[in-house]
Amino acid sequence: MSIPSEHLSTLRALGYTETEARFLYLVATHSGYFTQRHYLAFAQQSKGHRVHRLTTRALDRGHARISFFARNTHVYNLYSRRIYDVIEKGNLRNRRRQSREMVHTRLMILDFIIAHPDEAYFETEADKIHYFTRGLGIPLSALPARIYHGIKSVSETNRYFVDRFPIFIPGPGNVFSLPPIITFTYCDTPGTSFAAYMTHLQNYERLLRRIDFNFIYAAPEPHKFDRARAYFSRQFDPPNLLNPRRLLRYFELRRLWETQRTADLTHADRDFLRDTMRQFKAPKFESAYLKWTAGSLPNDEIQDLLKPDQAPKERHFRTHHLPEAYSFFFTESSRDYRTRELDDPLIHDSIPSSPTCEA
């Protein structure tokens, strides 16, 4: 990653060393949160006095605030507007308090960035929008978005790529052996559920089906890699699944469902129908289904339906083993952390008052 020299200079002017300035730039740009372990990994140091010097400076200057978790673990939030302003990223939401689940994910995102610091990341929402809409000609409506409603007004604002997962173009000789095309990542928190990962792919599907891309699934639990790969394959329609028998079975099961004959559907039938409803949702399949139910769909037309509309897209899937699961999020309380916010009253007393943030 190439950090503008003027941004490093402004961070050093706030009292930080060159290494500290580089680290704080990564935190502000990609995460907003860090632990002492992150800085030691970034600085390639094993002794704690360096990280103590950094955290003391950040806290004393009002650039960061600290939260205490189980096993005496400290999580720092780089929240000072001044830090973000001097690197021209004043609009980033990384400085804000986030839910525990989001903080957990942001720490893993920072792990990924530190492990791969030399990639050409798209750092801001504007950078990503410009690349896809101007560079690749993708309509804005195809980008993953979330609508935010104004607190004191009826206004609505669309924000894009709000998950903040790293997006980059791999350089030559990258450790993933990926071609130099746009690369998406997903950092998965520990646990058995794949619901969030599946939802993420569905949110990005309209964009991903239009382009060649790489996808990296990152998690601290390698045993999840095979399942993540399998779902990715199902989501993006491997060519060997596009055959007349599969399409006709979809039509038959769909008719049973729509005619309320659900008692005739086995669990396997329901799973098959759920998968193929995503696969055969294009208008041409909808039209074919109506013809089939009317008894007017010839076999040669079924074959034509299964011919690709365009050349197959280039897609590459990789996995990455993240170094830390951050189990202290789970041992902090017997309750699931996803039900509580960082600043909720149950843990508010564990967060000391931060010094006044510099203007």
CATH number at residue 87: 1.10.10
Q: Which two tokens stand for residue 181?
A: 């095309």
- Please tell me the total count of domains within the chain: 3
Give every residue of the chain whose pLDDT is below 70, as ranges.
150-154, 237-242, 299-300, 307-312, 331-359
- Clarify whether residues 277 and 230 are in a common domain: no
- Clarify whether residues 194 and 334 are in a common domain: yes
Half-sphere exposure of 192 (CA within 13 A, CB side): 0
If we measure between CA atoms, which residue out of 339, 318, 338 comes closest to residue 104?
Answer: 338
- Clarify whether residues 104 and 212 are in a common domain: yes
Give the phi and the psi of residue 202 in degrees, each rounded to 5: -65, -40
- Clarify whether residues 119 and 46 are in a common domain: no
Give the residue numbers spanning the domain of 278: 243-305
- Clarify whether residues 288 and 220 are in a common domain: no
- Clarify whether residues 62 and 150 are in a common domain: no
- Clarify whether residues 120 and 132 are in a common domain: yes
Query: What does DSSP assign to residue 263?
Result: G
Residues 129 and 140 sit within 8 Å (Cβ to Cβ): yes
- Clarify whether residues 188 and 328 are in a common domain: yes
Using alpha carbons only, what angle is made at residue 236 by residues 260 and 148, rounded to the nearest 5 degrees?
A: 80
- Per-residue pLDDT, 311: 60
Residues 184 and 213 sit within 8 Å (Cβ to Cβ): yes
- Clarify whether residues 38 and 92 are in a common domain: yes
- Per-residue pLDDT, 339: 38
Neighbours of 11 (CB within 10 A): 24
- Per-residue pLDDT, 309: 56
- Clarify whether residues 127 and 210 are in a common domain: yes
Query: Which pTM does this prediction carry?
Result: 0.76
Half-sphere exposure of 280 (CA within 13 A, CB side): 27
If we measure between CA atoms, which residue out of 145, 140, 120 comes closest to residue 129?
Answer: 140
- Clarify whether residues 207 and 332 are in a common domain: yes
- Clarify whether residues 253 and 128 are in a common domain: no
